[in-house]
Amino acid sequence: MLIALLPGDGIGPEVITQAKRVLDAVGLDGLIYEEAPVGGAAYKASGHPLPSETLDLAKRADAILFGAVGDPDCDALERHLRPEQAILGLRKELELFANLRPATLFPELAGASALRPEIATQIDLMIVRELNGDVYFGEKGMRKTADGKREGYDIMSYNEDEVRRIAHVGFKTAMARDQRLCSVDKANVLETSQLWRDVVIEVASEYPDIQLSHMYVDNCAMQLVRNPGQFDVIVTGNLFGDILSDQASMCAGSIGMLPSASLDSGGKGLYEPIHGSAPDIAGQGKANPLATILSAAMMLRYSLSMAEAADQIEAAVASALAAGARSADLGGTMSTSDMGDAVIAAL
């Protein structure tokens, strides 16, 4: 099976290197790796953040392990040439519409959460974020108002098919967990949210065992601080999911710990840490590679049917933490490769 390695920008290459080392150490048969540039790195090398060879590789591959994109050098480029367009392009071109973002605290890290330990340790939630629609992909641009002023605009929208397919992922995810699904929207203000809520309620009739609730996004942002333990699965749109999942990650300890999967309808997926390219610490060996290592584990489980190997990696991460492995974000002094070593030693 072919795995595309797309390291990208900033700390991306460093964390991908460690994840690849861990995959090698597990000793899996039949995996082939191919690497390609993406993001600012690809733009600098060849003038485009998602070169056609990279997109081709991603299409051919059975799964994609992705580092991070984002490069301040590219801030002044036209939008379609910026690093972020690479990840947005991959999500759209490969129809990776379902983004799974677990937020769970490793008990060893209760001390690293900004929340009180008794609140933090109760967190065990999964955010299911829609990834192919919303204001991210609507028509957008700069125009002039009637009196000649500059105006920026972006159209937010969802149609019923788009909502239905992600709602099903939300309900199915809840079936496999604690049977509770909270749909997050802003239906008191937005028509897009009203359609979202209507369709989620329609889909609910197919899942009579699931306890469905609805919450406004502002309230949810508050509840994720106040009492994150109340949530099992949250399903929401692209923009709200972006904000809430970053917030939830921090409740659960460090953003350096959290993996994600972006799946199409057939089980093919792109796997990436939810942190960004962190240009400020790039190249210094300070990045925590565990989010990427855990993303590799998700890849084995969801796209490659290697659940046992995934369990092995996750257990090794837990053991490494229990043995005291801590990178800077976790309050420790270990380097990126030290952290990789610790996981490999625990395997």
Ligand X SMILES: CC(C)[C@H](C(=O)O)[C@@H](O)C(=O)O
Q: Evaluate whether 268 touches 234 at the Cβ level (below 8 Å).
A: no
Beta bridge partners of residue 214, listed in sequence order = 183
Spatial CB neighbours of 320, under 8 Å, sequence gap ≥ 6: 339, 342, 343, 345, 346
Does residue 311 bind ligand X (CB under 6 A)? no
Per-residue three-class SS string for 298-319: HHHHHCCCCHHHHHHHHHHHHH
Other CB atoms within 10 A of residue 305 CB = 12
Other CB atoms within 10 A of residue 187 CB = 18
- Which of 22, 87, 224, 317 is close enough to bind ligand X by CB under 6 A? 87
What minimum distance in Å lies between the beta carbon of 32 and ligand X?
27
95 interacts with, out of a copy of itself, ligand X, none, CB within 5 to 8 A per kind: none
What minimum distance in Å lies between the beta carbon of 340 and ligand X?
23
Does residue 84 bind a copy of itself (CB under 8 A)? yes
DSSP state of 97: -
The bridge status of strand 98-104 relative to strand 32-35 is unpaired
Query: Where does this chain touch ligand X (CB under 6 A) — which range of 25-33, 45-53, 81-89, 168-176?
Result: 81-89
Does residue 270 bind ligand X (CB under 6 A)? no
Does residue 242 bind a copy of itself (CB under 8 A)? yes
Does residue 93 bind a copy of itself (CB under 8 A)? no
Choice between 188 and 205, CB closer to ligand X:
188
266 annotated as belonging to a binding site for a ligand: no
What order do you get walking across the sheet with 211-216 strand by strand? 32-35, 2-8, 63-68, 269-273, 259-263, 98-104, 124-130, 233-236, 180-185, 211-216
Does residue 84 bind ligand X (CB under 6 A)? yes
Length of the chain in residues, anyone? Answer: 347
Q: Evaluate whether 164 touches 140 at the Cβ level (below 8 Å).
A: no
Choice between 37 and 70, CB closer to ligand X:
70
Does residue 176 bind a copy of itself (CB under 8 A)? no
51 annotated as belonging to a binding site for a ligand: no
What minimum distance in Å lies between the beta carbon of 217 and ligand X?
9
Does residue 181 bind ligand X (CB under 6 A)? no
What minimum distance in Å lies between the beta carbon of 84 and ligand X?
4
129 annotated as belonging to a binding site for a ligand: yes
- HSE at residue 184, side-chain half, CA atoms within 13 A, is 28
- Which of 52, 188, 208, 266 is close enough to bind ligand X by CB under 6 A? 188
Ranges within 210-229 binding ligand X (CB under 6 A): 218
Biggest alpha carbon–alpha carbon distance for the chain: 66
The bridge status of strand 269-273 relative to strand 259-263 is antiparallel
What residues form the annotated binding site? Answer: 91, 101, 129, 218, 242, 246, 276-288
The site for ligand X (CB under 6 A) is made up of 70, 84, 87-88, 188-189, 218, 242
The site for a copy of itself (CB under 8 A) is made up of 70, 79, 82, 84, 88, 114-116, 119, 135-136, 138, 140-142, 145, 149-161, 186, 188-196, 198-199, 217-219, 221-227, 239-240, 242-247, 249-251, 255, 276
